Amino acid sequence: MKKIMFSLLLLLGMTEAPSATIDLWREPIPEVKAGQYYSLIVDRGELQKAIKDSNNEYVFSEKCAGTKPLVLIGTSVEITEFLLNNETSGIENHITELPDIYMGITKYVAKERFTGLFPLNYLLISTVEQTQKFLPFGTLITDAAGIPDDLKALYQSLHKLDRKQKESGQVLYVKFSYLPEKGMRKVGKKTISFGKILKIMQSRT
């Protein structure tokens, strides 16, 4: 799976294989450029690592990198682990006229335009399914839909998995934006922590 991920991320403009812990990235904004013989070329640019501000937050703003959406690419376990590890950090939206924050989840397909496919709680359900393949039955308590009741217990379970186990499973693309796109859901306004996002994902809607 790691070799596949490396190849996919190269297509998105990343020149280094990711470490065991995934990072948050800035999604490039496609530009239409003039090609040869009056043709038009869509340049989708390259992913750039997202940097936190001085308040330990990721920011949407009206200039520079802040205009670009934020994305996570990895298996459900890797993405959930990132959110749990960074639950006290989050996203701040400084764009006055577009204060909302949206989130969407889809399968990762290189170069394709984003279309959300799954409800937000799919990420936790999929994480539980992936985790229970490697841990004893009954390690995690869930409701009938497969959503974990205790995020702390989920966090402890993820730490029992090795790198290869975390990397197994379907690669997902999670996107945060100040603009709504097909299949995205509003999760906050002006600011939201990753811990709050996890709580939203525990809901059944």
Give the phi and the psi of residue 200 in degrees, each rounded to 5.
Answer: -60, -40
pLDDT of residue 31: 56
pLDDT of residue 98: 97
The C-alpha atoms of residue 104 and residue 92 are separated, in whole angstroms, by 17
Please list, in sequence order, all residues whose beta carbon lies within 8 angstroms of the beta carbon of residue 74, skipping any fewer than 6 positions away. 5, 18, 22, 82, 171, 172
pLDDT of residue 3: 47
And the tokens for 100?
């909302």
Looking at the predicted structure, is the pLDDT value of residue 40 above 60? no
Mean pLDDT of 139-158: 85
Mean pLDDT of 34-40: 54
Looking at the predicted structure, is the pLDDT value of residue 191 above 70? yes
pLDDT averaged over the chain? 83
pTM value?
Answer: 0.81
pLDDT of residue 14: 44
Mean pLDDT of 24-32: 77
Lowest mean pLDDT among 60-74, 84-98, 140-154: 140-154
Contact predicate 104/181, CB 8 Å: yes
Q: Which residue has the higher pLDDT, 49 or 140?
A: 49
Task: Name the residue with tokens 């040869």.
Answer: 36
